[in-house]
Amino acid sequence: MALISHGQADYRLLLEHLFPPGPFSFNRNPESQFSKLFNALAEELARVDGRMADLYAEADVYTCTELLPEWERLLLLDPTGKTTEERRSAIIGALLGQGGSCRDFFLALATEAGYSITIQHFRPYWTDSRDPIRAGDLCYGPEWAAVWEVLGSAAAFAALSELFEKIKPADSVIIWTEV
């Protein structure tokens, strides 16, 4: 939905209609002080109206331009060497991207942000013939099924920890280990 923007002439007319009609109203001569004041006010109202329409467009990631750097900062995207359309497409892709508890998704996020990390899942102890536990394997209780450890540099943790904590599954716990 597009926002209808009004111009200076529209606001000038609106301001004039605030005064009563007739001979005792303000002097409508274009050179009068009232006319000059109304022109200045109408010009400013039209400017604010235009910025309001811009703000309306900026609220939508599909049409924004001024807020692209904020979206990129929030989503840890690098705008270097990309056109405005490519930057917008990267933002939309990051917002619509499929995630979840998949380890590969979080590894891809880190790689896209320029960091190398390793993710280790803690496997609870199960006894079945498909993947038997062997002597020397670590045994974890069932509560460890939702725990995973991220191994990486301090810079990676500083950049990725907030994002990972926001998008991880709600029942997951992340252990951050610097290597």
Over the stretch 85-133, which tens digit does the pLDDT of each residue have? 989 888 888 887 656 667 888 888 888 888 999 998 887 776 665 666 6
User: Which helix (DSSP H) or strand (DSSP E) does residue 70 occupy?
Assistant: helix 68-75
Over the stretch 10-25, which tens digit does the pLDDT of each residue have? 999 888 888 887 777 7
Q: Give the confidence band of 53 by pLDDT, cuts at 50, 70, 90.
A: confident
CB-CB neighbours of 91 under 10 Å: 22
Distance CA 6, CA 53 (A): 10
User: Which helix (DSSP H) or strand (DSSP E) does residue 173 occupy?
Assistant: strand 173-178
pLDDT, mean of residues 55-72: 88
| Closest residue by Cα to residue 176 from 108, 167, 158 | 158
Q: Are 94 and 77 in contact (CB under 8 A)?
A: yes
